[in-house]
């Protein structure tokens, strides 16, 4: 009980009481959506209104004034749907979550099942921003770096938005060092931490 109260107090400090209210309402809605689409349940607790890092990612992308944006691991589409660009593509390996994303934000972007290979198969040769947040920590650094190189050999990408997880945070398989991961690939600029959640840092990377 005490642990739950501490979590609520911390969340109130981050997003305020009105933010808590919006978070709870959205969770109820996403729970109902889950009954229809049966996607992984963790998506319910990771919605935009409850996670400050997602708005930081959206702001970081919008500051780049992109025309074409691709988000790998888009989940419910809450980041890609809020980005101001002409062409917006959300990609996720889970068809169930893609179906839910289409239901929620189908008018604000295009959603597809797949991974890196799906991006390579797109007709767009030029991508202004590639967003990769909150899922890369499930893949070892060697495999992830190989996939990024393969993609960059086939597509022209100007910027990559990625995140790193703080060492003391549990529940993530890998804790990538962004400097090591993108060494020789991109110029790295730290955009922000995750709005006070003390879980991750967000980086903007200009591909070289």
Q: Domain coordinates of the chain in residue numbers?
A: 46-207
Which secondary structure element, helix H or strand E, spans residue 72, and what is its range?
strand 68-72
Q: What is the pLDDT of residues 134-147, one digit of tens each?
A: 999 999 999 999 99
Instruction: Give the up-direction half-sphere exposure of residue 188: CA atoms within 13 A in the CB hemisphere.
Output: 17
Q: What three-state secondary structure class fits 42?
A: helix
- What secondary structure letter does DSSP report for 46? G
Q: Are 141 and 181 in contact (CB under 8 A)?
A: yes
Distances (CA, A) of 173 to 44, 94, 134, 137: 20, 19, 11, 6
- Which residues are paired to 89 by β-bridges? 70, 110
Burial label, 114 (beta-carbon count in 10 A; 0-12, 13-18, 19+):
middle
Tens-binned pLDDT, residue by residue, of the chain (208 aa): 544 445 545 555 566 667 788 999 999 999 999 999 999 999 998 999 999 999 999 999 999 999 999 999 999 999 999 999 999 999 999 999 999 999 999 999 999 999 999 999 998 899 999 999 999 999 999 999 999 999 999 999 999 999 999 989 998 999 999 999 999 999 999 998 777 778 999 999 999 9
Which residues lie closer than 8 Å to 200 by C-beta, 6 or more apart? Answer: 53, 134, 163, 164, 165, 166, 169, 193, 194
Give this prediction's pTM.
0.92
CATH architecture of the region 46-207: 3-Layer(aba) Sandwich (3.40)
């Amino acid at each position: 009980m005490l642990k739950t109260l501490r979590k609520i107090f911390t969340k109130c400090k981050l997003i305020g009481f009105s933010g808590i209210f919006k978070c709870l309402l959205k969770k109820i809605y996403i729970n109902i959506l889950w009954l229809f689409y049966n996607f992984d349940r963790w998506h319910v607790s990771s919605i935009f209104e409850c996670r400050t890092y997602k708005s930081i990612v959206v702001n970081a992308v919008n500051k780049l004034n992109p025309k074409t944006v691709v988000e790998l691991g888009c989940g419910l589409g809450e980041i890609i749907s809020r980005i101001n660009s002409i062409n917006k593509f959300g990609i996720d390996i889970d068809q169930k979550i893609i179906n839910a994303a289409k239901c929620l934000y189908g008018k604000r972007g295009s959603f597809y099942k797949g991974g890196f290979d799906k991006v390579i198969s797109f007709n767009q040769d030029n991508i202004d921003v590639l967003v990769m947040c909150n899922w890369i920590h499930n893949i070892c650094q060697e495999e992830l770096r190989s996939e990024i190189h393969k993609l960059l050999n086939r597509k022209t990408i100007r910027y990559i938005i990625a995140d790193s997880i703080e060492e003391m945070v549990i529940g993530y398989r890998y804790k990538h060092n962004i400097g090591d991961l993108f060494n020789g690939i991109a110029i790295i600029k730290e955009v922000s931490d995750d709005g006070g959640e003390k879980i991750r840092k967000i980086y903007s990377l200009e591909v070289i």
